[in-house]
Structure 1
Amino acid sequence: MLRLRECVVSHLLSSPSNSATSPLRHLLSATASAPISPNPSGFAVEEYLVATCGLTRAQAIKASPKLAHLKNPDKPNAVLAFLSGLGLSGAAAAAAVVAKDPRLLCAKVDKTLAPKAVGLAGIGLSRLEIARLVSLGPECFRSRHIVSKLHYYHPLFGSFHNFLRAYERSSYLLSRDLDTTIKPNVAFLHECGLAACDIVKLVMYRRGILTTNPGRLRAMVACAEGIGVPRASGMFRQAMYAVAFQSTDKIATKVDYLKTTLRWSAAEVGIAVSKAPMLLRRSKDTLQSKSEFLVSEVGLEPTLIAHRSIVLTVTLEGRVRPRYYVLKFLKENGLVDRELSFYTAVSTPEKYFMNKYICPHKKAAPHLAEDYATACIGEIPTNFLFR
């Protein structure tokens, strides 16, 4: 430990920022000063987990067999001191980590844990970020490849914050092999025209994309192309969202449902899905209620809906219906002298909709904004009850 501390201190003193290294100094100091208890006869692991680590009795019973070989609390005490140095000093924080990975208490601080903390600090992680990583994946933190993996992921995700968000959704990011799985998948997605930022967004919404078998990822890409979205298309990432981990049978069933519900031909389904791939993720009930409103109340022809299929991907109650009511109110009250585009009104961002369709009519229709807000929460105001 002394030699390790000397090497680490030398490394820290050579760093240009004292503020960035002080947490690690504190960490190693806390670890070095961990109390060493005499070897008791018959070390009671279960009681130690409850009294010292803060586990519940049920958690301790489950964890204790994994620590049955421990003869004294020396290693666990050192590990708890290490966690405390990272900032995981509260009973709840330490208990959560130990409950996830009881074997962490058997790790050697000087040879396993502290060097990893130093390595992660060397690629730019703060003490709090290292603590967060440990709390999310203590078992992965013990892996000898943790530093090299984070060194690869850090520039790919753009920030450690982005990586953590993805890791919370897919813990396999730190357990899958970089060379046989992760790197081939990233390279293939780059070949498909996706930039790093696109890949990150894809991972955020479809966990498992990077950690799946490369052959399965290629099958997903083929499926995305099969629904009419080529790799070069700006909708390709959306198509990958839509088809990821869905079976071809399930996709075929959804396509048949679209044909039946909206009376679309195969060609029209192809047009609609290529423009709004997320249709394949919408439930049957959602698609039916939206299509009935668009056809029966708005009066749109199914063919037009196919070419403007984005209207089927936005919420009916929170956007489509309230905005249709606003357009109809403006027309019924003679507040517009031209036909307003329903598609434009529905697809435009909220701020733009307010500026174009609500704010210009404050004097003529002072309650329009309030009525629109009421309609957005599912209620129909009196002014929107049309004959």
Structure 2
Amino acid sequence: MILVRKNSSLLLGFLAGTSKISILLPPTNLLTPPRLFTTKANDPSPKTPFIVKYLIDSLGLSSSEADKCSKFLTHVKSPSKPDSVIEFFRKNGFTDADIKRIICCNSKVVCAKIDSTLKPKFEVMGDLGFSDTQITKLITANPLTLNYLSYCNVAPRIEFYNTIIDSKDDIIKAIARDICLLTCSLEKTIKPNIAFLRECQFSNERISSLLIHSRRVISRPLNTLKSIAKRVDELGVPRESGMFYYGFLSLCRLNSDLFDAKIKLLISLGFSESEVLSLFLKHPLILCLSGKNLRYKVDFFVKEVGCKLSYVSCHPFLLSLSLTKRLIPRNYVMELIMKKGFLKKKIDIVNFASMPERKFLEKYIVSFQKRMPELPDVYLSASAGIFLY
């Protein structure tokens, strides 16, 4: 539906310019007081622990969430400590939903001391130049970071990350995505890994991207990164090539068994070994797609579009495009335009599938609308999985 709304807004812009029991019982049992026959369901339930009731009433946790959190809080018998912690978070800009998330992830925080534990953690981040909003985003995104926000732990790391990542917002994103950036050794792991990536001719921009967007890459053992780089070398991707970075990233996301399984899958779908290698060399991240995704897309290109696998291997980026949001609706509309005789010759899917949405709308929807007024609705419906013709 998001896509439909987006397409719809673009189209509007252009167009504007779902009793037997007694027989079974021995006679002696008939004299037994009825209370002994009461079912377990009628027995009074054990008293709900204070902290469980507190978490349910104060933060709206479900019974199961409160039970899970209470395992480490059985000693809490009074609301004074958790009340003060919750109030502290509220004063620092956290919503009740944020606080609920933090406590569900790190329940021991309700016992934290405000002045000696929580305040210093917020102050050190503020002293390092982070705004209240940024601190809130970090802790909400990954509540476990609260355990590691001490000056001696954070200050040298932030100072180092500042040399690679341009903005404080991106540093927050990196740490929130990979808490190991705060837990593993800066001197023994992070810095040596960064130095190795520079040996691989990765630019500062690409190292920054790995830090921000890729979980558990920079924080891996150095020998692991060296092994991955060596395998990319063996696959024939030169280190000076821009594709080496993407090949490296692809193998970081796939262990050896998964990588081999994807290769075997593509071969089972009909690609030759040379075509599979071509796919990897031109678009390494294709192998990170799920097997189901790959099967559906290959089936679409071969059976619906009529492409040969050699064509797909020459244009592997096609496999990275959304099947339901882009490939199917665009191909459907293009076939309809052809049937109506609006085009003299068939357009290769690589040409119209690669277009930005605005350009596709201009060239093939709006321009043919006079001859086929329902075309915008046809395209929007196809984008929603509804085919009118």
Alignment TM-score, normalising by the size of structure 1: 0.71
Q: 2:268 aligns with which of 237, 260, 269?
A: 260
Q: Is this contact kept in 1: 2:330–2:379, CA < 8 A?
A: yes
CA distance in 1: counterparts of 2:225 and 2:103, whole angstroms: 35
Match of 2:46 in 1: none
Q: Flag the 1:188–1:47 CA change in 2: closer, same or farther, 3 A.
A: same
Q: 1:123 aligns with which of 114, 125, 128?
A: 128
| Aligned-pair CA distance for 1:270 | 0.8
Q: Is this contact kept in 2: 1:203–1:209, CA < 8 A?
A: yes
| Aligned-pair CA distance for 1:215 | 1.3
Task: Summarize deviations over 1:300-320 as a string: whole Å, max 9, x none.
Answer: 222222111222222223222
CA distance in 2: counterparts of 1:73 and 1:366, whole angstroms: 66
Q: Which amino acid aligns with 1:102?
A: K
Q: Is this contact kept in 1: 2:157–2:186, CA < 8 A?
A: yes
**SS of structure 2 residue aligned to 1:144:** helix
Match of 1:208 in 2: 216
CA distance in 2: counterparts of 1:265 and 1:60, whole angstroms: 53
Match of 2:250 in 1: 242
1:109 aligns with 2:109: no
CA distance in 2: counterparts of 1:324 and 1:92, whole angstroms: 43
Q: 2:194 aligns with which of 181, 186, 192?
A: 186
Q: 1:273 aligns with which of 271, 276, 280?
A: 280
CA distance in 1: counterparts of 2:326 and 2:252, whole angstroms: 27
- 91-100 vs 349-358, which moves further: 91-100
CA distance in 1: counterparts of 2:348 and 2:218, whole angstroms: 41
Q: Which amino acid aligns with 1:274?
A: L
Match of 1:365 in 2: 372
- 299-308 vs 327-336, which moves further: 327-336
| Aligned-pair CA distance for 1:328 | 2.2
Task: Summarize deviations over 1:147-180 as a string: whole Å, max 9, x none.
Answer: 2222322453322322222333222121111111
1:168-183, aligned counterparts within 5 Å? 168-183=176-191
Q: Which amino acid aligns with 1:62?
A: K
| Aligned-pair CA distance for 1:139 | 0.5
CA distance in 2: counterparts of 1:91 and 1:336, whole angstroms: 57
| Aligned-pair CA distance for 1:209 | 0.8
Q: Is this contact kept in 2: 1:206–1:244, CA < 8 A?
A: no
| Aligned-pair CA distance for 1:343 | 0.9
Q: Flag the 1:253–1:134 CA change in 2: closer, same or farther, 3 A.
A: closer
Q: Flag the 1:101–1:178 CA change in 2: closer, same or farther, 3 A.
A: farther
Match of 1:296 in 2: 303
| Aligned-pair CA distance for 1:207 | 0.8
CA distance in 1: counterparts of 2:316 and 2:103, whole angstroms: 50
Q: Which amino acid aligns with 2:72?
A: A
1:62 aligns with 2:71: yes
| Aligned-pair CA distance for 1:74 | 11
Match of 1:340 in 2: 347
| Aligned-pair CA distance for 1:94 | 5.6
Match of 1:15 in 2: none
Q: Which amino acid aligns with 1:128?
A: T
| Aligned-pair CA distance for 1:60 | 6.5
What is the aligned-residue RMSD (CA, Å)? 3.6
CA distance in 2: counterparts of 1:102 and 1:354, whole angstroms: 54
CA distance in 2: counterparts of 1:371 and 1:253, whole angstroms: 39
Match of 1:286 in 2: 293
CA distance in 1: counterparts of 2:87 and 2:204, whole angstroms: 38
Q: Which amino acid aligns with 1:229?
A: V
Q: 1:150 aligns with which of 153, 158, 161?
A: 158
- 122-131 vs 372-381, which moves further: 122-131
Match of 2:9 in 1: none
Percent sequence identity is: 25
1:374 aligns with 2:372: no
**SS of structure 2 residue aligned to 1:378:** coil
**SS of structure 2 residue aligned to 1:145:** helix
Alignment TM-score, normalising by the size of structure 2: 0.71
